[in-house]
Structure 1
Amino acid sequence: MKADLREALRQQLIVGDGAMGTYLYQMGFPVGISYEELNLLKPDVIMDVHRRYYEAGARLIETNTFSANREKLSKYGLEQEVEAINRAGVDLARRSVGSDAYVVGAIGSIRAGKRKNVRTAKVKDDLKQQIEVLADTPVDGLLLESFYDLEELLIALKLIRKISSLPVICQFATEGTGSTHDGIPLDEAFRRLLAAGADVVGFNCRSGPNGLMRSLERIAGMEAAPPFSIFPNAGIADYVDGRYTFAATPSYFGETARKFVDLGARIIGGCCGTTPEHIAAIASSLRGYVPDPAAIRKLTENVREPRPERIAEPVQVSDRPPAAPPVQSEPTIVDLVKERPTVIVELDPPRDLDIEKFMQGASALKKAGADALTMADNSLAVTRMSNLALGSLVQERIGIRPLIHIACRDRNMIGTQSHMMGLHALGIDHVLAVTGDPAKFGDLPGSSSVYDLTSFEIIRMIKQLNEGVSFSGKPLKKKANFIVGAAFNPNVKYLDKAVRRLERKIESGADYIMTQPVYNAELIEKISEATRHLNVPIFLGIMPLASGGNAEYLHNEVPGIQLSDEVRQRMSGLKGEEGRAMGVQIAKELLDVALSHFKGIYLMTPFLAYEMTVELTKYVWQKAGRRDFHLYPLEK
């Protein structure tokens, strides 16, 4: 007979299971249906998923009841099936696995980060209904997962404690910040949950291992630390050709599992994007593993993202200097790159309202001779300041050409055309059309991903504006003059297939190409050979690494980025100035190769550490024999 879950956690590590919803999606079940209804419609499928996780080594099995509450089921006309779906979920999980597995009833957030979308009284009623059903089944515990606000999680926990003494696991959805969605510091939130009767606290969803590691580090040293549970996503989701994919490999999950254990985790599983293979890697890695008592401090020092200490000379952004000469009349970057090496530098808009450091970086990059400053459109679905507004500021105050990313994710066709018309009015004519990372995996997961247009269609529609024709086909009285770029990810298994996809973007009207960052000299040569036949310029992406932790995060969790084994080894364990210095050195070595094949260089600035890309921009000009960095552009 197995021990009570509380007792088991005092004696052993427990491997949790992986994703249910995204795994069903991978099996062919479409988005837009109730996966919980499959407990009634496709019980054999649900049992098969549970069985696969159990056979992979999971000994904590979640019921397929995450969204089986009245509010969520009502979207499918299933509000009368709450009891039937929840009871079936427990029965299927029990019958699928051995007697040594702990089955926990999964209960998800009703508000899901949208704090005002459901009244508190209704939240209480709907949670109470699901809790009462699950507590009346043979579960070994209850799992409250993917909660964003402490307020709602406490509501659920207190409801449970009124009717049941079952073990309760409480998990926040987090992206590596130090507080809950409603602004409560994590250590305080966990103390309040423990005082209210939680047995285990932890994190799941929203982030891959790197983000959850940072969150766990923030509370690993709390007094009387409880057992922690950790269920990361398989990195950041990518959306390509209408399908969601995830980057993090099973082997990466195996490696990070031990680090989580060293920080106090006693239950480790997976969330969105994870599969039985990820769980098998965790189980294999933890088999016989004894936590390292000295590891907490070491991990805390090494994994946190670096913040450059040097502060550049301030730029007075509050005063409005005379406007720089209009850049529209200058040669485009397509014109420039035909004549000489040309450098585009990416600088991320801030996540807050302080633009001083951003403007400092823009000014420094202008002085270094960058040909254009490019700004992403809420990359990784994380909310940032409008790149349209910042593009206008840097054009007017700094005098550098802005190159604005346009994502398909955030705007419908009405909003996209309106946005493009605004760019035209501001004299901003260089854009990069991208699909955009899925909203549900960003910092506002309750937001919708629009995707009215594909990356192919948005390129074609923007070029239609250049003909003086709106998206609806009506005349616009004037013609726009957009220079449209397309994104290219060469970090793939089959480069030829990626090039064929790129050819379609060029057929749609792309004027130039910007690649994801490349960290392999051999791959640079392969890209050159594979794209030699294309009639548009390619700007090869180079992003200096900031630390060993940054290198591992990019390689394992960010879609479209792959580091070579050599680069990962050289960055391993480095941090601070030492890490940034090595990152710049590696980037220079890659630039040596890139400049022998491409005139276009696309530098990406990590963490607003613009000193790194300033140095690399100057290095490009040094290699090219150019000395007049202050002149923009060069005379043709």
Structure 2
Amino acid sequence: MADLIGKYLEQQKYLIIDGALGTELERRGCNLDDPLWSARLLADNPDMIAAVHMDYLHAGADCLITASYQATFQGLERYGYSPEQARKLIRSAVLLAKTVVDRFWADPINRVNRMKPLVAASVGPYGAFLADRSEYTGLYGISEDELVDFHKERLKTLISAGPDLLACETLPCFAEARALVRLLDDLAVDLDMIPVWFSFSARDGQHINSGEAVRDCAQWLDDKPCVAAIGINCTDPVHVSAIIGEIRSVTDKPVVVYPNKGEVYNNLTKSWAPKPGMPSFGEMAIQWVKCGARLIGGCCHTTPDDIRQLVLDLKH
């Protein structure tokens, strides 16, 4: 298990991650105006999540990220769930994605020229639980020890459901990465060396959202055995090439990138639209590959069509 990402990258040039889940569910008519966001649908409409997962697989994704980003014990208990109900719901995010992969893989047509897709259990940041946009600042006002306590039960629960990987994602501050590494070290026996990627959210080409240098974060993570890949997500794509350079200057570990689509909100039309003159997502991905990214996908506002185009562009 330890070199699962490496095995994929030996067989194929890239590992393609899926695209957005929350904004894709909204695009399909789901109302996610809720502190639990997409995690609410694990209870209310898991079939809709499964449909999005399946569409990403048909688009060419090698890895699904589970709907557990906002599913935390603290958030679910605040919503009225008992600890055992919360545990069951958090596990269901992984089990749902694994079921979709198995169903996809059961059709021989889907096995042609590809490896069996992976499931990465999403470990969202503390700020996602707060639902106050602090995942975009990292200004939590709590200690690293408190972050360890916050993440512990969810991390253990996700691992117990048997994902292929863990995605510690959208981390806005260095302290949260350190807290998660401490937990992973403590859980080393249970992990059985499940690969873990760490991806930060960034404010520009050099700094994560807290203002700390992405290079410093990557350098610290470089010698941590539990860390299989390092990168960035939920970030404006214009910053990605520079961020890849910062990360690759201090580590040889694979670089993972799955930024936002880079759209801007139009207050007149009440909708999101591409920035004028912006390249397609696939065209930008070609540049990220040239800079050294190996795990590539999309975050907010990307769709199965974007992932399909990304796959096509990277094959040429």
Whether 1:276 aligns to 2:280 is no
Instruction: Kindly indicate whether the alpha-carbon contact (under 8 Å) linking 1:5 and 1:140 is maintained by their aligned counterparts in 2.
Output: no
Q: Give the TM-score of the pair, scaled to structure 2.
A: 0.82
CA RMSD of aligned residues (A): 2.4
**Unaligned stretches of 5+ residues in structure 2:** 106-115, 128-134
Give the equivalent residue in structure 2 for 1:252. Answer: 280
Could you say what secondary structure the match of 2:166 adopts? strand
The match for 2:232 is: 203
Alignment pair present for 1:39 and 2:42: yes
Answer whether contact 2:222 2:251 (CA < 8 A) is retained.
Answer: no
Tell me if the contact between 2:5 and 2:228 (Cα under 8 Å) persists in the aligned partners: no
Structure-2 change in CA distance of 1:11 and 1:262 (3 Å)? farther
Is 2:130 aligned against 1:103?
A: no
**Is the CA contact (8 Å cut-off) linking 1:145 and 1:204 kept in structure 2?**
yes
| Alignment correspondent of 2:5 | 5
**Letter matched to residue 200 of structure 1:** A
- Aligned AA for 1:89? A
> 2:26 maps to what in 1?
25
Q: What TM-score comes out, normalization by structure 1 length?
A: 0.42
Q: What is the alpha-carbon distance in structure 1 between the residues aligned to residue 205 and residue 284 of structure 2?
A: 19
- State the distance in 2 between where 1:6 and 1:82 align: 33
Contact preservation (8 Å) 1:229, 1:267: yes
Say whether the 8 Å CA contact 2:228–2:254 is kept in structure 1: yes
Secondary structure of the 2:272 match is strand
Look at both structures and tell me which one has the larger radius of gyration over its CA atoms.
1
Which whole-Å CA distance do the structure 1 matches of 2:278 and 2:24 have between them?
14
Q: Does 1:161 align with 2:185?
A: yes
Residue 149 in structure 1 maps to residue 173 in structure 2 = yes
Amino acid at match of 1:199: A
Amino acid at match of 2:245: E
Moved more, 50-59 or 150-159: 150-159
18-27 or 156-165: which moved more? 156-165
Distance in 2 (CA, whole Å) between partners of 1:276 and 1:251 is: 17
Q: Verify the 8 A CA contact 2:255 2:292 in the aligned structure 1.
A: yes
Aligned position for 1:140: 164
Distance 1:18 1:79 in 2: 31
Percentage identity across paired residues of the two chains: 25
- For structure 1, the 5+ residue unaligned runs are 290-636
Distance 1:142 1:280 in 2: 24
Q: What are the Cα deviations for residues 226-267 of structure 1, in whole angstroms up to 9, with x where unaligned?
A: 110110111133053684424269971111111111111111
The whole-number CA distance in structure 1 between the counterparts of 2:81 and 2:140 is 23
Q: Could you say what secondary structure the match of 1:201 adopts? A: strand
| Residue aligned with 1:37, SS | helix
Q: Write out per-residue CA displacement over residues 270-326 of structure 1, whole angstroms, 9 at most, x where no aligned residue.
A: 000100011001111112x5xxxxxxxxxxxxxxxxxxxxxxxxxxxxxxxxxxxxx
Q: Give the Cα–Cα distance (whole angstroms) in 1 for the partners of residues 11 and 149 of structure 2.
A: 37
Q: How many residues align?
A: 284
Aligned to 2:260: 233
Distance 1:11 1:224, change over 3 A: farther
Inter-partner Cα distance in structure 1 for 2:145 and 2:250: 34
Per-residue CA deviations over 1:515-535 (Å, capped at 9, x if unaligned) read: xxxxxxxxxxxxxxxxxxxxx
The farther-off stretch of 115-124 and 30-39 is 115-124
Contact (CA 8 Å) 1:172, 1:180: kept in 2 or not? Answer: yes
**CA gap 1:44/1:251 in 2 versus in 1, 3 angstroms:** farther
Map of 1:175 onto structure 2: 203
- Relative to structure 1, the CA distance from residue 128 to residue 18 in structure 2 (aligned partners, 3 Å threshold; closer, same or farther) is same
Counterpart of 1:76 (choices 69, 75, 79) is 79
